[in-house]
Amino acid sequence: MILVCFVIIYREERVLKEQRNSFKGSIGFVLAAAGSAVGLGNIWRFPYLAAKDGGGVFLLFYLILALTFGFTLLTVEIAIGRKTKQSPLTAYSKIKKGWKPLGIIACLVPVIILPYYITIGGWVLKYFLVYLTGKGEAAAQETYFTDFIAKDTEPVVLMFLFFVAIFIIVLRGVNKGIEASSKIIMPLLILLVVGIAIYSITISHTDASGVTRTGLDGLKKYVIPDFSGMTVNSFFTVVIDATGQLFFSLSVAMGIMIAYGSYVSDEANLGKSINQIEIFDTVVAFLAGVMIIPALYTFMGPEGMSASGPSLMFVSLPKVFASMGMMGNIVGGMFFAMVLFAALTSAVSVLEAIVSSFMDEFKISRKKAAILEGILALVAGVVVCLGYNKLYFDIVLPNGSHAQILDIMDYISNYIFMPIVAIGTCILIGWVVGPKLIINEVQKNGEKMGRSQLFYVMIKYIAPIFLAFLFIKSVGIFPFL
């Protein structure tokens, strides 16, 4: 396959520079950007943090931070992209000469993320097929997930199939690929999210001890603030958790929003689009909790709400679906279809950030850039898959968590490079070129930028401090924080 790919590259000598396309309309841009933000982090991390941090307490802080911190970072990256018409690798040096290193780190983030994201995408595809074929009860077995990822071949094949899907979308370009697919996938995703959320709050279950719990009871646990036992330390824990979730949820510091911003036309109302992306992401994140927490609470009690990440999606939830009886396969199939859609839109945006960077930096065509990155991602993806069998090892990261190959890549990208990119962006815009550069870009067509004063204060002072504190805490430099 690799040989075939190189043959295609060398045949394609006639195109060295491809004209930058743009989204045909603001709806396409908003759906694509929201699709990037609505990823696995919203589905498997947001509900866990909300349950852990007092339900409505976490939701309250998250909403406040989304309107301030999230708004600032989202605005900066999209505006940088539109102003420079460049990808993350080259955009920073266009803003200020000498800042190319920050662009390199911003490009490395999606390069590191893509191999393990397509691996997880393969896992999601596996579970979707299991429920589609009516074998959901098997997925509820205790060792089903670990047995699956420990296999030599199946995870690699499914990872490859998942990658082929996103590769085709990106290869088709901005309009026919990313924008067109987002207009189909995102409405379907929303319908599934809303449908599952409604079903989740209508269920009830009586356990072996005779205790009956309902979805509405679980919903109350999720949305009603619980300030009991709140201390200064736990207060800061909630703030840091909410900040960290927002940081990853909005796809900032990954180069994605710069790449997508570069495809936004100069005539588009940037401020309005940013507000819509904020609302879309926040609503879906909230509904992810409505889908999951009431169901977990109903069938597994308070103890079941402590699961997060892969253990939540691939171990705990299949048990919940099995407890639903005949409806389990239907609900499980709908759920994993929704997760598959979310994974696809996010993975497409990650691949596009890399492809656009290669196109701008090396002046090559979209096809060449996509094939080159495809080879890199697939080779690294195979290594990630083998990290659970032939290449298995276990080390302890600086933050205290145990890790394999996937976890190490996640740690480097999410906990080291992304905060560095975000902090560097705040310094560049807040102190080197000045916030007015971004404000003028948002207002270039005469629109008034809402929250401009807030943006000024956040980008210069609050956001860099927040990010530095989050960075120090996440890497475990000072364990007492």
- 370-380 tens-digit pLDDT: 999 999 999 99
480 pLDDT higher than 60: no
Amino acid type, 172: R
pTM: 0.92
What does the pLDDT read at residue 19? Answer: 55
Rounded average pLDDT over 94-103? 97
Mean pLDDT value across residues 48-62: 86
Q: Counting beta carbons within 10 angstroms of the beta carbon of residue 230, is it exposed (0 to 12), middle (13 to 18) or buried (19 or more)?
A: middle
Is residue 10 predicted with pLDDT exceeding 70?
no
**How much is the pLDDT for 12?**
46
pLDDT band at 302 (very low <50, low <70, confident <90, very high): confident
Angle between helices 154-171 and 366-386 (to 10 degrees): 160
Question: What is d(CA 88, CA 358) in angstroms, rounded to the nearest whole number?
Answer: 10
**C-alpha 23: how far from its chain's center?**
21
Report how far residue 305's alpha carbon sits from residue 291's, in angstroms, rounded to the nearest whole number.
12
Residue 250: its pLDDT value, please? Answer: 83
The first and second tokens of residue 78, run together, are 């999209």
| The two structure tokens encoding residue 344 | 């696809």
Binning pLDDT at 50, 70 and 90, where does residue 11 land?
Answer: very low
Q: What is the rounded distance in angstroms from the CA atom of residue 260 to the CA atom of residue 352?
A: 8
180, HSE (Cβ side, Cα atoms, 13 Å): 11
Dihedral sign (CA 323, 324, 325, 327): negative
Return the closest-CA partner of residue 181 out of 421, 374, 351: 351
Q: Is 169 helix (H, G, I), strand (E, B) or coil?
A: helix
The residue among 151 and 466 whose pLDDT is bigger is 151
What average pLDDT does the chain have?
Answer: 90
Cβ atoms of 201 and 294 closer than 8 Å: yes
> Which is it for the CA torsion 418, 423, 426, 432, positive or negative?
negative
Structure tokens at 63: 């909403």
What is the residue type of 292? Answer: I
Contact 295, 200 (CB under 8 A): yes
**What CA–CA distance (Å, rounded) separates 394 from 33?**
35
Q: By mean pLDDT, which of 2-16, 23-37, 450-464 is the weakest?
A: 2-16
Quick check: 345 pLDDT over 90? yes
CB 255 within 8 A of CB 107: yes
How many residues are listed for the chain in this entry? 481
Query: What average pLDDT score do residues 443-471 get?
Result: 92
Angle, in degrees to the nearest 10, between helices 56-65 and 270-300: 170
Handedness of CA 288, 289, 291, 296 (dihedral sign): positive
DSSP 86: -
Specify the DSSP class assigned to residue 459.
Answer: I
Alpha-carbon torsion angle 193, 194, 197, 201, nearest 10: -170
pLDDT (0 to 100) of residue 425: 97
Cβ atoms of residues 388 and 149 within 8 Å: yes
Query: Exposed e or buried b for every residue in 55-76, given b needs 16+ CB within 10 A?
Result: bbbbbebbeebbebbbbbbbbb
Q: Give Cα 15 distance to the centre of its chain.
A: 33
Q: Which pLDDT score is estimated for 479?
A: 56
Q: Which residues are bridge partners to 395 per DSSP?
A: 403
In terms of phi and psi (left: phi > 0; alpha: psi -120 to 50; beta: otherwise), the region of 207 is beta
305 or 294, greater pLDDT:
294
Q: Is the dihedral of CA 92, 96, 99, 102 positive or negative?
A: negative
The residue that leads in pLDDT, 415 or 116, is 116
Average pLDDT over residues 280-296: 90
The total of other beta-carbon atoms located within 10 Å of residue 374's CB is 23
For residues 166-193, give the mean pLDDT.
95
Q: For strands 402-403 and 395-396, give the pairing.
A: antiparallel
Higher pLDDT residue, 40 or 194? 194
48 pLDDT band, cuts 50/70/90, is confident
